[in-house]
Amino acid sequence: MDLSFTPEEQTFRQAVRSFVETKLPADIKQRTLEGRKQSHDDYKRWHRILAEQGWGAGTWPGEYGGPGWGPVEQYIFDEESAAGGAPLLSPFGLKMVGPVIYTFGSDAQKQRFLPRIRSAQDSWCQGYSEPGSGSDLASLKTRAERRGDEYVVNGQKTWITHAQYADYIFCLVRTDPKAKQQAGISFLLIDMKTPGITVRPIVTMDGGKEINEVFFEDVHVPVANRVGEENQGWTYAKFLLGHERTNIAGVAVSKRAIGRLKRIAADERKNGKRLIDDPVFAARIAQLEIELMALEITNLRVVSAEKEKRAPGPEVSLLKIKGTEIQQMLTELMMLARGKAALALDNDADAFRPAAAYCNLRKTSIYGGSNEIQKNIISRIILGL
């Protein structure tokens, strides 16, 4: 397996680097590199700049408006974007529901939804988890009763990231309560402006409001908004989760975060010396860098397999497990480096706060299929257990 980049791929890397350097707005770049919060409009502003370049949907095939990149080009783009200070685009439309629609959706759905996702006209959120149905997603209870050309949806979704900004939500709903759990689920695309939908923020311990509860009370959804066949939604959900777990690894963003950690450690002092010169703390950073390098090699193996049209195996779950553990370790070291200052609250609501980041990233080992579930998947694939 050759994990080196070809001359053509290196040329592409230079093109991406130059584009990010010249086109990324300076204010967005500064906030990203400082770890500050970006507004929803800032994310969409960068997305639109990419769309004007024809790069609004890097992972999509050319026939659906993507640039025709392979997995290597997408990997390079992610790496150079992170290094250059570009924020991550919302994955819900681009990397989750978009591929589901162009793989399983009707021609009408492709024509209606894909251009607006690609151009950042529409924002999406994911309606999977429910109270009592998280890692055991197949136990979901939100019902969709078919009445003629419509479904009437009732139920509740929770932990819905950025539902307050979303134009649409893609939902797993139960359409056959008598079938086995996985067999009675359908995949619906629902307009968030539909009467009967209520969004209620969940305030996190750091004061953030990025996640929400979404309630459905007699919400009418056209049958035309169902992706694929009725009661086959679990198939499409598994397809989507495979994409999500690879994305969660976040190698490029973690590499950028290590740079921020080093800057923090260089600014902080312990007993009159820079923290980064403390051998114990420096060793912890070095260990983290080694683990990230190993994760990057695993990620490149997955990219290489995709380039050769080979389906990735348990590596996808490994990426999810180790990637999220590294993200959590990074925020832990940042918090330790700042000491008491990591807890300080001031009037700058968008400032990077290591303690808040530490608390927020506890979720990464849970969403997208908890790390315990990923270990079960690995054991079944490799050991047959």
Does the structure show a pLDDT above 90 at 249?
no
- CB 225 within 8 Å of CB 169: no
Q: Which of 19-23, 126-130, 246-250 has the lowest mean pLDDT?
A: 246-250
- CB 128 within 8 Å of CB 157: yes
Question: 273 CB contacts (<8 Å, ≥6 apart)?
Answer: none
| 148 against 340, higher pLDDT | 148
Which whole number is the average pLDDT over 286-293?
A: 96
What span, in angstroms and rounded, lies between the C-alpha atoms of 204 and 209? 7
Q: For residue 73, what pLDDT is reported?
A: 92
What span, in angstroms and rounded, lies between the C-alpha atoms of 74 and 61? 12
pTM: 0.89
- CB 145 within 8 Å of CB 176: no
Reading the block at residue 15, the tokens are: 């093109």
Does the structure show a pLDDT above 80 at 158?
yes
Question: 50 CB contacts (<8 Å, ≥6 apart)?
Answer: 56, 89
What ranges do the domains of the chain cover? 7-89, 124-232, 249-383
Distances (CA, A) of 297 to 177, 245, 300: 44, 16, 5
Catalytic residue list contains 244: yes
**For residue 77, what is the DSSP state?**
H
What span, in angstroms and rounded, lies between the C-alpha atoms of 337 and 261? 8
| 306 against 153, higher pLDDT | 153
What span, in angstroms and rounded, lies between the C-alpha atoms of 118 and 51? 7
The alpha carbon of residue 198 and the mean position of all alpha carbons in its chain are separated, in whole angstroms, by 24
| 346 against 268, higher pLDDT | 268
Does the structure show a pLDDT above 70 at 344?
no
Q: pLDDT-derived band of residue 302, with 50, 70 and 90 as boundaries?
A: confident
Q: Which of 244, 289, 291, 296 is catalytic?
A: 244
- CB 57 within 8 Å of CB 74: no
**124-232 CATH pick, 3.10.180.10, 2.40.110.10, 2.120.10.90, 3.90.110.10:** 2.40.110.10
Q: For residue 306, what pLDDT is reported?
A: 74
Q: What is the mean pLDDT of the chain?
A: 90
What span, in angstroms and rounded, lies between the C-alpha atoms of 98 and 67? 14
What span, in angstroms and rounded, lies between the C-alpha atoms of 239 and 367? 16
Identical fold between 124-232 and 249-383: no
Could you report the per-residue pLDDT of 225-243, keeping only the tens digit for each? 999 999 999 999 888 876 6
Which whole number is the average pLDDT over 132-144?
A: 84
Q: Assess if CATH 1.20.140.10 describes domain 249-383.
A: yes
Q: pLDDT-derived band of residue 138, with 50, 70 and 90 as boundaries?
A: confident
